[in-house]
Amino acid sequence: TVAILWFRRDLRLHDHPALLAAIEAADEVLPLFVIDPHLMSRGTPRSERLLASLAALGKDTRDTLVIRRGDPVEVVARVAKQAGARTVHVSRETTPYGRERDEAVEKALADDHRELVRTGSPYAIGPGTIVNGSDSPYKVFTPFSRAWRRHGAPEPAERPTRIPWHHGIRSDDLPEAKDVGDIEAGEAAARTRWKAFLENDLEGYKDGRERPDLDATSKLSAPLKYGEIHPRTLLADLASVTGVPTQDVETYETEIIWREFYADVLWHQPESAWHDLRPELGGLAYDSGTATDELVEAWKAGRTGYPIVDAGMRQLLELGWMHNRLRMITASFLTKDLHVWWPVGARHFLDHLLDGDLSSNNHGWQWVAGTGTDASPYFRVFNPVTQGKKFDPDGEYVRRWVPELAHLPGKAAHEPWDHEDGYEHDYPTRIVEHDEERKEALSRYERARR
Ligand code: FAD
């Protein structure tokens, strides 16, 4: 007998409950991945990263991985019939599109007397699980995180010692991935990256994570996005770490809980992906039109004239990754200094991030825009100059990404306007005045609240 393991956001073999369920269900396991044109447009960093991860998974499954292209509703049912599989095993999907797709696949399989079996999810505690005393979802982070910690993450699942892969079903060719940056794809690379982080950077993470000039975070967002490593594994390792200050361990755990929280919010409110969570700000006035489009283009290209903003936007284009502090600073600049509605920026991020994830990205944007769950108070508008000087104290990060400012030493790189030779290498002048735009943002906010 054969069971299908349909891989999606779970491209690994360790700590994989759906894989264990498939092994349990039949004599052999047929690994399948469906390239869904709806989710994958060739050339975006995210799609290329996925191809690289699939290439690694192909090797890990001893070249038995079957790749098919097309609408999963037709493809999965067809492959199940071809292989004579009674069950198709998946990790439960929790995004709006994934849920709808899985229901349609489940129905197509059932029409042919086959079953879709959901085991586990991409999260340590699946979305929808943590509810408050009156069985309702939590609306803000801190009480959610307390309840999440009380619940506790389950133990990781063992990697099976022997996996009876099914051979003999033809696969489509896997296109070769183009350059996908410096965060190597695949399960082995993710595990190596994690071990190195535990050894070298967990200690000091609480403060280090705020500094874009240091390489002090784990860069596991893309591996987590594709499920090359599971958060359960990370949490179990953190629980057994010794000799590292508790505050560093707890801070990393808290970041993982943010990921879980945003997935939970999306689960309960699928419309929150592209609509303001806070209805009271529905009337906030945003700018659009040709003049605004030009400002947005300058923001996208990293040519706003604000060094820290430009450094972040250029890092995004170059690496497909941006430091968390910079995601906040650049998002604040678009929404509060340029008065542009956050989905414009969220779309740009998703188009360029290797870790682009609907729940973390779009809710992260809403947090900054002030329309989200734990909105940062709207009046706390990020000042790009003070943020730069505080979190990139020696100007290292700016000089790395903005060569036109490489000649300005130390903090001077954050304020080229204060230096005679500041614009010697054609760095653009500021496209807006922050102090004015800050006042404008606050007055729009006051008008919307009235
Ligand atoms: P680390 O500091 O090593 O954190 C470890 C892990 O915790 C991350 O890999 C991530 O899975 C999780 N995490 C950390 N911070 C957050 C957070 N604020 N929200 C949710 N999860 C978090 N993260 C994404 O994975 N995909 C996105 O598309 C995304 N878009 C964002 C957009 C904006 C506007 C903002 C403010 C944040 C966004 N984040 C996103 C969250 C965060 O910036 C990244 O997860 C982090 O920078 C990834 O780098 P790292 O793995 O080195 O992080």
Q: What confidence tens digit (pLDDT) does each residue in 389-438 have?
A: 999 999 999 999 999 999 999 999 999 999 999 999 999 999 999 999 99
Within this chain, do residues 292 and 437 fall inside the same structural domain, yes or no?
yes
Ligand 1 center to 221 CA (angstroms): 6
Nearest CA to ligand 1 atom 20: 259
- Give the pLDDT confidence score for residue 42 in this predicted structure: 61
Residue 397, annotated as binding a ligand: no
Domain that holds residue 93: 2-121
DSSP annotation string for 97-127: HHHHHHHHHHHHHHHTT-EEEE---SSSS-T
Nearest CA to ligand 1 atom 2: 217
Mutate to test the pocket of ligand 1, among 9, 95, 221 (most ligand atoms within 8 A of CB): 221
Mutate to test the pocket of ligand 1, among 264, 336, 354, 360 (most ligand atoms within 8 A of CB): 360
- Give the pLDDT confidence score for residue 380 in this predicted structure: 77
Mutate to test the pocket of ligand 1, among 95, 237, 255 (most ligand atoms within 8 A of CB): 255
Residue 355, annotated as binding a ligand: yes
Within this chain, do residues 211 and 296 fall inside the same structural domain, yes or no?
no
Residue 169, annotated as binding a ligand: no
Within this chain, do residues 351 and 430 fall inside the same structural domain, yes or no?
yes
- Give the pLDDT confidence score for residue 280 in this predicted structure: 73
Within this chain, do residues 8 and 67 fall inside the same structural domain, yes or no?
yes
pLDDT at 43 over 80: no
**Does residue 201 lie in a domain region?**
yes
**Does residue 348 lie in a domain region?**
yes
State whether the beta carbon of 264 lies less than 6 angstroms from ligand 1.
Answer: no
State whether the beta carbon of 209 lies less than 6 angstroms from ligand 1.
Answer: yes
**447 — phi, psi (to 5°)?**
-65, -40
Within this chain, do residues 298 and 415 fall inside the same structural domain, yes or no?
yes
Domain boundary among 87, 121, 155: 121
**135 — phi, psi (to 5°)?**
65, 20
DSSP annotation string for 323-346: -HHHHHHHHHIIIIIS---HHHHH
Within this chain, do residues 287 and 263 fall inside the same structural domain, yes or no?
no
Ligand 1 center to 121 CA (angstroms): 19
**Does residue 132 lie in a domain region?**
no
Ligand 1 center to 267 CA (angstroms): 18
User: Three-state SS for 165?
Assistant: strand
> Which CATH number covers residue 28?
3.40.50.620
State whether the beta carbon of 194 lies less than 6 angstroms from ligand 1.
Answer: no
Within this chain, do residues 433 and 284 fall inside the same structural domain, yes or no?
yes
How many CA atoms are closer than 13 Å to the CA of 307, on its beta-carbon side?
35
Residue 260, annotated as binding a ligand: yes
Domain boundary among 121, 145, 171: 121
Within this chain, do residues 297 and 444 fall inside the same structural domain, yes or no?
yes
- Give the pLDDT confidence score for residue 376 in this predicted structure: 61
Ligand 1 center to 313 CA (angstroms): 16
**Does residue 133 lie in a domain region?**
no
> Which CATH number covers residue 368?
1.10.579.10
- Give the pLDDT confidence score for residue 375 in this predicted structure: 62
DSSP annotation string for 3-57: EEEE-SS---SSS-HHHHHHHHHSSEEEEEEEE-TTT--TTSHHHHHHHHHHHHH
**Does residue 238 lie in a domain region?**
yes
Nearest CA to ligand 1 atom 23: 360
pLDDT at 377 over 80: no
Residues 3/76, Cβ–Cβ less than 8 Å = no
- As a whole number of angstroms, the distance between CA 312 and CA 355 comes to 15
Task: State both tokens at 189.
Answer: 């690379």
**Does residue 435 lie in a domain region?**
yes
Within this chain, do residues 359 and 380 fall inside the same structural domain, yes or no?
yes
Domain boundary among 121, 138, 171: 121
Q: Read off the pLDDT band of 40 (50, 70, 90).
A: confident
**Does residue 116 lie in a domain region?**
yes
Nearest CA to ligand 1 atom 15: 255
**Does residue 104 lie in a domain region?**
yes
- As a whole number of angstroms, the distance between CA 113 and CA 210 comes to 53
Within this chain, do residues 26 and 61 fall inside the same structural domain, yes or no?
yes
Within this chain, do residues 384 and 320 fall inside the same structural domain, yes or no?
yes
- Give the pLDDT confidence score for residue 371 in this predicted structure: 86
Q: Read off the pLDDT band of 354 (50, 70, 90).
A: very high
Number of domains in the chain: 3
State whether the beta carbon of 10 lies less than 6 angstroms from ligand 1.
Answer: no
What percent of the chain is modeled with pLDDT above 90?
A: 89
State whether the beta carbon of 224 lies less than 6 angstroms from ligand 1.
Answer: yes
Within this chain, do residues 414 and 347 fall inside the same structural domain, yes or no?
yes
> Which CATH number covers residue 199?
1.25.40.80
Q: Read off the pLDDT band of 98 (50, 70, 90).
A: very high
